[in-house]
Structure 1
């Protein structure tokens, strides 16, 4: 029986590509708390941003919702009438657990969870779209189309909240940030073996962009401003505003 503590890479193994499978779903809360600096701050602020930007009779989309942390945070803060939240994830294991979390949390803003690839989802009548560490797992050549689709589906005054692990634009700076992040993981109890094997597993699955690349893509889609409101080491969250 899994205790919920992330020990997936604690033993030497033939490391395959990282995937959001049953093993990851079982330990995901522990994994993300110990791997992403400022995660609780990010999730709570996502809820606040949705609370202040949700429009009456509109939809909030949480694309790559995982276990529903951002959806639940949004539901806590949203007071706009007749709003609903749609969480989307392509991992069946994640969606099943997410549905249990949503059922356990009685929210006045309804949350619907869909198991599908976010690229198959129509974005319409949206006041807020959340992508909390999701875009980095999508093929780089497909990212602009997704951002363009989100922009088109957002109502005027709508926002896209985008959290990502970032690439620094110099090799030396990038290594400095990676070293800081690895030390963060050590202090949270991960061994050198776990850090190394997880890095190998993510190598071809998670491809990061620089902030400037994100900014250019977002403004190119039509967003009037991109506000980077959180940064810790090589992790950041930004809000893209639609006039």
Structure 2
């Protein structure tokens, strides 16, 4: 059970061992329709790619999405998970071993790693942690790494242009967290820990960034309040 923010924080948010051991619980209780988004991500990719496809999950954390791909498809994929947090990858390896899945993991800084050539790239709730000055260049790097007709599927927390609407969406999100059992203190603690660490864009800013990188098809395939899932396709 996630109890990370029941005590006063002493540092900004980090994906360390304290977070890793409760991360799956944190995801399901902090992200609306988390399981449904993972399911939609995997089904979208499985419908699109062929046998032997090269698929990478950037910021794979404990490998939930990669394991879902392994379970859902009768095709054989080359699955790669990249994360910069050793604690996350240690848990990911344990889970993959338990399920008998074939997944490669690399611990690396996402902005510097060589992505090679991929048929599908996943980045769920990861881009928002990349500094804005680096984010556009990183998305361009993702575009270059995709093979023709390749897919980039990613989810993000978003903000709204309209300040009143944005506040309403934030309030609705905090209501969601309260319904998951988080206290007012925990909500405030996490908000403070993530300040200047998680920097979201608007839906339009995310789409503009994808367009500038060269993607031809850009769609929002899921949205709940201030969370959205996007799909971007590289030209054939």
Per the TM superposition, whether the score is higher than 0.5 is yes
- Pairing of 1:61-80 with structure 2 (within 5 A): 61-80=56-75
Q: Partners in 1 of 2:53 and 2:221 — Cα distance? A: 24
Residue 147 (structure 1) aligned with residue 143 (structure 2): no
**8 Å Cα contact 1:50-1:77 kept in structure 2:** no
- Pairing of 1:118-129 with structure 2 (within 5 A): 118-129=110-121
Q: Residues 174 and 15 of structure 1: is their aligned pair in 2 closer, same or farther, counting only changes over 3 Å? A: farther
Residue 98 (structure 1) aligned with residue 121 (structure 2): no
**1:76-131 deviation line (CA, Å, top 9, x unaligned):** 234445x3011000000001001101111123xx3101111112222222110000
Q: Partners in 2 of 1:79 and 1:241 — Cα distance? A: 23
Which of 163, 170, 184 in structure 2 is aligned with 1:192?
Answer: 184
**8 Å Cα contact 2:59-2:84 kept in structure 1:** yes
Name stretches of at least 5 consecutive residues in structure 2 with no aligned partner: none
Q: Partners in 2 of 1:22 and 1:136 — Cα distance? A: 21
Match of 2:82 in 1: 88
1:45 deviation in Å? 1.1
TM normalised by structure 1 equals 0.93
- Pairing of 1:3-18 with structure 2 (within 5 A): 5-11=1-7, 13-18=8-13
Q: Partners in 2 of 1:91 and 1:155 — Cα distance? A: 27
Q: Partners in 2 of 1:67 and 1:132 — Cα distance? A: 12
1:227 deviation in Å? 1.1
1:15 deviation in Å? 3.9
Q: Which moved more, 1:150-159 or 1:54-63?
A: 54-63
**8 Å Cα contact 1:222-1:242 kept in structure 2:** yes
- Pairing of 1:195-210 with structure 2 (within 5 A): 195-210=187-202
Q: Partners in 1 of 2:21 and 2:52 — Cα distance? A: 35
SS in 2 for 1:226: strand
Match of 2:37 in 1: 42
SS in 2 for 1:160: strand
Residue 33 (structure 1) aligned with residue 35 (structure 2): no
**8 Å Cα contact 2:220-2:230 kept in structure 1:** yes
Q: Partners in 2 of 1:9 and 1:56 — Cα distance? A: 43
Q: Partners in 1 of 2:193 and 2:153 — Cα distance? A: 27
- Say how many residue pairs are matched: 235
**C-alpha RMSD over aligned residues:** 1.2
Name stretches of at least 5 consecutive residues in structure 1 with no aligned partner: none
Q: Partners in 2 of 1:102 and 1:48 — Cα distance? A: 19
